[in-house]
Amino acid sequence: MEKKLKVGVLGATGMVGQNYLRLLANHPWFEVVYLAASPNSAGKKYKDAVAGRWHMKGDIPEQFKNLVVQDAGIVSKAIGKCQLMFSAVEMDKKSILALELEYAAKGFAVVSNNSAHRSTDDVPVMVPEINPEHLDIILDQRKKYGWRKGLLAVKPNCSIQSYMIPLFALMKAGYVIDKMIVTTLQALSGAGYPGPAAIDLVDNVLPYISGEEEKSEVEPAKIFGKVRNGKIVPDNTIKISAHCNRVAVTDGHIACCSIHFKGKKPKEEEIIKIWRGFEGLPQKLKLPSAPVPVMIYRDEIDRPQPQKDRDAGNGQAITVGRLRKCNVFDYRFVGLHHNTVRGAAGGSILTAELLVTKGYLK
Ligand SMILES: NC(=O)c1ccc[n+]([C@@H]2O[C@H](COP(=O)([O-])OP(=O)(O)OC[C@H]3O[C@@H](n4cnc5c(N)ncnc54)[C@H](OP(=O)(O)O)[C@@H]3O)[C@@H](O)[C@H]2O)c1
């Protein structure tokens, strides 16, 4: 790309927002020029707005330290500054629904981490290796709302990436999966900052995350669905039962899965071969943030582990292991991904790269 595309981050001071800045600091296509957050941070230099709550390993990238944070609620402030807006604000759902539509109506390409628009039937829920063709619904969005340049795409809940890509690879190889039971062990960063109180977490597991099990059961159907007549029609072939738990791990969500095949069942070695050989459109297009390989199968009996595997592929790869027979369904396995990278900022950046290559962002 000759000239970098100017981008903004809404919710730049939060857990996901900070990951955006870390991942975009040296991005070959995108240049972050606009930062926004709540009215509490608005008017402050970024380094002052995040003082005492910068959670990334390295320091705040130099180019962002003195940028003045704007109020994400005032759309007019961003006009003319950037074309692409990553949204990672934490507000009530109704406000986010309206705010993201307003940014899109004002000509911004909005790629969001929030769940507000995931059930809007003309908004694609993107896992770029699985459903790149869902971006074609942007033409319908533009027609319906009269947007010339605006668009709206979202990424799914951060708990599902570690099994969606393994499932999709098997489906693409011709197998039909009709049942899955999944138990997730989800990291603290998934709850934003400061997250649950320490006294609830030390020496403990929280067996409830509000709304998470419903999202884990419903969102896959839309991602596996088809675009028809301006809507994404869900594919409900897989029935999912989810148990979601919060555990005292900083980053990296684990999913322990049992799957059942309808009809033909693959052998264990074949499943591993399919997973190791899988690549999606982002890998074929060599997008800057596409991990190669996208799926890593570990042979060790005690992997994947958050500490050891979450940063694989710069936090964008899925690590899978412990494939074995299941006494109730057909097979069991464990998947892991970095929740604030592949499950949040990184997944959205990959979607934005796909938007560029598909010509929706010029
Ligand atoms: N953490 C994850 O792993 C993860 C994964 C996937 C999706 N998500 C989603 O991504 C979004 C951000 O999550 P997070 O974990 O980064 O949350 P967070 O750490 O709590 O950060 C929230 C951000 O929203 C801003 N904000 C709060 N109220 C606002 C308002 N009224 N107007 C404008 N901005 C406001 C905050 O600004 P101030 O700093 O000024 O308060 C901050 O920048 C959420 O919708 C979440 O569900 C999170």
Name the pLDDT band for 47 (thresholds 50, 70, 90): very high
**Which CATH number is associated with domain 5-157+344-357?**
3.40.50.720
Ligand 1 atom index nearest CA of 189: 1
Q: Show which residues are catalytic.
A: 158, 253
With the most atoms of ligand 1 within 8 angstroms of its CB, the residue from 9, 16, 46, 118 to mutate is: 16
With the most atoms of ligand 1 within 8 angstroms of its CB, the residue from 90, 125, 185, 212 to mutate is: 90
Mean pLDDT on 91-116: 97
Determine the distance separating the centroid of ligand 1 and the alpha carbon of 141, expressed in angstroms.
26
- Nearest-CA neighbor of 110 among 25, 39, 34? 34
First to last CA, the chain: 10
pTM of the model: 0.97
Amino acid at 346: G
Domain with CATH 3.30.360.10 in the chain: 161-338
Pocket of ligand 1 (CB under 6 A): 11-17, 37-38, 40-41, 72-73, 88-91, 113-114, 158, 189-190, 192-193, 339-340, 343-344
Determine the distance separating the centroid of ligand 1 and the alpha carbon of 113, expressed in angstroms.
9
Determine the distance separating the centroid of ligand 1 and the alpha carbon of 151, expressed in angstroms.
21
Name the pLDDT band for 91 (thresholds 50, 70, 90): very high
Cβ count near 243 (within 10 Å)? 15
Name the pLDDT band for 16 (thresholds 50, 70, 90): very high
Domain with CATH 3.40.50.720 in the chain: 5-157+344-357
Name the pLDDT band for 362 (thresholds 50, 70, 90): confident
* Overall CATH class of domain 161-338: alpha beta
